[in-house]
Amino acid sequence: MSDHALPLPAGEPHDRASTELRPGLQPADHLRRVLERASAEAPEEAQGHFLVLTHRGPDPDALGACEGLRRLIEVGFGYRATVATLGRIHRAENLALVRTLELELVDYTEIDLSRFAGVTLVDTQPEFGHTVLPDTPPLVAVFDHHVPPEKDGKRPDAPHKDVRLGLGATSSMLYEYLRDAGIQLDERTASALFCGVRYDTMDLSRNASALDEEAYFETFRLCDRTKIAAIDKPPLPRSYYRAIASSMAAARQHGPLVLALLGKIENPETVAEMADFFLRMKGASWVVVGGAFEGEYVLSLRTDRSFGNAYPLMKRVLGGEGSFGGHGHIAGGRIHLEDQGESTIKSVERALRANALRVIAPTSDDDEEAIPPEGRPVGE
Ligand SMILES: [Mn+2]
Query: For residue 332, is it within any domain?
Result: yes
Measure 221 CA to ligand 1 centroid, in angstroms.
21
If asked whether residues 245 and 205 sit together in one domain, one would say no
Measure 199 CA to ligand 1 centroid, in angstroms.
9
Residue 373 has what pLDDT? Answer: 61
If asked whether residues 280 and 192 sit together in one domain, one would say no
If asked whether residues 224 and 270 sit together in one domain, one would say no
Measure 379 CA to ligand 1 centroid, in angstroms.
32
Of 185, 215, 232, which residue constitutes the final position of a domain? 232
Beta bridge partners of 141: 120, 160
Measure 373 CA to ligand 1 centroid, in angstroms.
35
Measure 145 CA to ligand 1 centroid, in angstroms.
6
Query: For residue 200, is it within any domain?
Result: yes
Of 139, 377, 357, 100, residue with least CA distance to 251: 377
Q: How many domains does the chain have?
A: 2
Residue 16 has what pLDDT? Answer: 35
Query: For residue 9, is it within any domain?
Result: no
Question: Residue 204 — φ and ψ, nearest 5°?
Answer: 70, 15
Residue-wise over 167-176: b if at least 16 C-beta within 10 A, else e? bbbbbbbbbb
Q: Give pLDDT tens digits along the chain (380 positions).
A: 333 222 333 333 334 334 444 556 789 999 999 999 999 999 999 999 999 999 988 999 999 999 999 999 999 999 999 999 998 898 999 999 999 999 999 999 999 999 999 999 999 999 887 888 999 999 999 999 988 877 777 777 899 999 999 999 999 999 999 999 999 999 999 999 999 999 999 999 988 999 999 999 999 999 999 999 999 999 998 999 999 999 999 999 999 999 999 999 999 999 999 999 999 999 999 999 999 999 999 999 999 988 888 999 999 999 999 988 887 888 999 999 999 899 999 999 999 999 999 998 865 554 444 445 678 888 77
Measure 375 CA to ligand 1 centroid, in angstroms.
33
Q: What's the CA angle centered on 170, arms 128 and 312, to 5 degrees?
A: 50
If asked whether residues 126 and 177 sit together in one domain, one would say yes
Measure 122 CA to ligand 1 centroid, in angstroms.
9
If asked whether residues 265 and 162 sit together in one domain, one would say no
Residue 23 has what pLDDT? Answer: 58
Contact between residue 196 and residue 152 where contact means Cβ atoms under 8 Å apart: no
Of 200, 232, 264, which residue constitutes the final position of a domain? 232
Which residues, by Cβ under 5 Å, contact ligand 1, an ion?
61, 123, 170, 200
If asked whether residues 126 and 142 sit together in one domain, one would say yes
Measure 196 CA to ligand 1 centroid, in angstroms.
7
Measure 288 CA to ligand 1 centroid, in angstroms.
20
Q: Where are the beta strands (DSSP E) in the chain?
A: 49-53, 80-85, 105-107, 118-122, 139-144, 160-163, 252-254, 257-264, 286-293, 296-303, 323-327, 330-336, 376-377
Contact between residue 310 and residue 302 where contact means Cβ atoms under 8 Å apart: yes
Query: For residue 306, is it within any domain?
Result: yes
Of 232, 250, 282, which residue constitutes the final position of a domain? 232
Measure 153 CA to ligand 1 centroid, in angstroms.
24
If asked whether residues 91 and 211 sit together in one domain, one would say yes
Residue-wise over 63-94: b if at least 16 C-beta within 10 A, else e? bbbbbbbbbbbebbbebbbbbbbbbebbbbbb
Query: For residue 5, is it within any domain?
Result: no
pTM for this entry: 0.79
Measure 327 CA to ligand 1 centroid, in angstroms.
9
Measure 201 CA to ligand 1 centroid, in angstroms.
9
Query: For residue 288, is it within any domain?
Result: yes
Measure 209 CA to ligand 1 centroid, in angstroms.
13
Measure 149 CA to ligand 1 centroid, in angstroms.
15
CATH number at 195 reads 3.90.1640.10
Quote the domain boundaries for residue 127: 16-232
Measure 170 CA to ligand 1 centroid, in angstroms.
5
> CA distances (Å), 323 to each of 38, 127, 310, 311, 320, in order?
31, 10, 14, 12, 8
Measure 160 CA to ligand 1 centroid, in angstroms.
18
Query: For residue 10, is it within any domain?
Result: no
If asked whether residues 304 and 334 sit together in one domain, one would say yes
Query: For residue 1, is it within any domain?
Result: no
If asked whether residues 62 and 208 sit together in one domain, one would say yes
Measure 60 CA to ligand 1 centroid, in angstroms.
8
If asked whether residues 213 and 267 sit together in one domain, one would say no
If asked whether residues 148 and 244 sit together in one domain, one would say no
Sign of CA pseudo-dihedral 34, 37, 43, 49:
positive
If asked whether residues 214 and 250 sit together in one domain, one would say no
Measure 371 CA to ligand 1 centroid, in angstroms.
37
CATH number at 326 reads 3.10.310.40
Measure 123 CA to ligand 1 centroid, in angstroms.
5
